Amino acid sequence: MLHDNKSWFIAADFDEADWIIECPAFIKICEEYDIPAYLERSRSGKGGHVGIFFEEPYEAFRSRKIMTALLQLEDAKNEAFVSAVTFWEISLKFGLGKLELSGATPNDLPGLALKAGFSLLPLLPEEAAMYHSLEASWHKDPFGRMLMKQAIHNKLTLLSKDSIYSPLSVRGLKDNMVGTKKAINKCH
């Protein structure tokens, strides 16, 4: 750790009996997000460390959030969802000509999400009705606001590249992936 609470790298320590399976699974998750990750066997030979190195010193609290989110993705017990709100936003932008999709249409996306192992999260009427109660006047994107409210209502962690979500963490939003895109770019 550098004096300004930044570091050049972060590592995950795997010491359980199944470390030999968990380390490659974690590295595969990193590869899916284009994050180079490197495995080092511990001195005892009974564990491993997976390191992620940054191009320049990076804020430690952000790198811990990224590592936590990647570990959650690697944990097969965690279910990953794609919200109906996401499909709605993509379809709207596609219809307005503001978004191009290569090799797919918005109609294909729910099926593709299921094939990729995601569960679909419907927008429930009570969630839509609670939209007004979200204390996030600083966030003007109605789709982002609905995703926040839906994550809070369902006690889910919102994974996003958008750092604008972080002020809500004190109001119930779990935002482990805030700032991820920026950090991923620094990993290359």
49-75 confidence digits (pLDDT tens): 999 998 888 888 888 888 887 887 766
Q: Which amino acid is at 184?
A: I
User: In the structure, what pLDDT confidence band is assigned to residue 187 with cuts at 50, 70 and 90?
Assistant: very low
Residue 74 · residue 29 · CB < 8 Å: yes
- The CATH number for 6-74, chosen from 1.10.15, 3.30.70, 2.60.40, 3.40.50, is 3.30.70
Would you say the C-alpha torsion 146, 149, 153, 158 has a positive or negative sign?
A: positive
Structure letter (DSSP) for residue 129: H
**CATH code of the domain made up of 81-187:** 3.40.50.1010
Please give the pLDDT value at position 182: 35
**Strand pairing category for 48-59 and 81-83:** unpaired
Parts of the chain belonging to CATH 3.30.70 = 6-74
Per-residue pLDDT for 92 more than 50? yes
Please give the pLDDT value at position 125: 93
Residue 116 CB partners (closer than 8 Å, separation 6+): none
Beta strands in the chain (DSSP E): 6-14, 38-41, 48-59, 81-83, 119-121
Residue 65 · residue 169 · CB < 8 Å: no
102-137 confidence digits (pLDDT tens): 888 999 999 988 887 788 999 999 989 988 887 766
Please give the pLDDT value at position 136: 63
Per-residue pLDDT for 179 more than 60? no
14-49 confidence digits (pLDDT tens): 887 788 888 888 898 888 888 889 999 988 888 899
The conformational region for residue 69 under phi > 0 = left, psi -120 to 50 = alpha, else beta, is alpha
User: In the structure, what pLDDT confidence band is assigned to residue 76 with cuts at 50, 70 and 90?
Assistant: low
Angle in degrees, 0-180, between the axes of helices 180-187 and 60-74, rounded to the nearest 10: 90
